[in-house]
Amino acid sequence: MADHVTTPEEPLEIDKLGPANTLIEIINGVGIALGLCLLWSLEAVRNGYFHLLDRMNVRPRQRRASAFPPGRPRKKVSAEARR
């Protein structure tokens, strides 16, 4: 099975890019590289911040943080009632 080689029926044709498309591809590559550099630098800042917290011996929260505070929820006032 490994000895079986297929030959393409049509020859491979490579389309050449024009000057405008080449410039667009270069700008796209530079944009991707800058985005990755930004993500890398943000990760380095985050890593340094957590290392600083470790050196200061700051422990994480003991109780779970919640988006919903304890107690009764507030009564929602509709737009018609405000008028």
Tell me the per-residue pLDDT of 22-42, one tens digit each, with 9 for 90 and over.
Answer: 999 999 999 999 999 999 999
| Proportion of the chain above pLDDT 70, given as a percent | 88
Q: Is residue 78 part of a domain?
A: no
Q: How far is CA 25 from CA 15, 17, 36, 75, in A?
A: 14, 9, 17, 55
User: For residue 27, is it within any domain?
Assistant: yes
The range of the structural domain enclosing residue 49 comes to 19-57
CA distance 19 to 9: 31
Number of domains in the chain: 1
| Mean pLDDT calculated for residue range 58-78 | 75
Q: What is the pTM of this model?
A: 0.51
In a domain, 65, yes or no: no
Q: Is residue 38 part of a domain?
A: yes
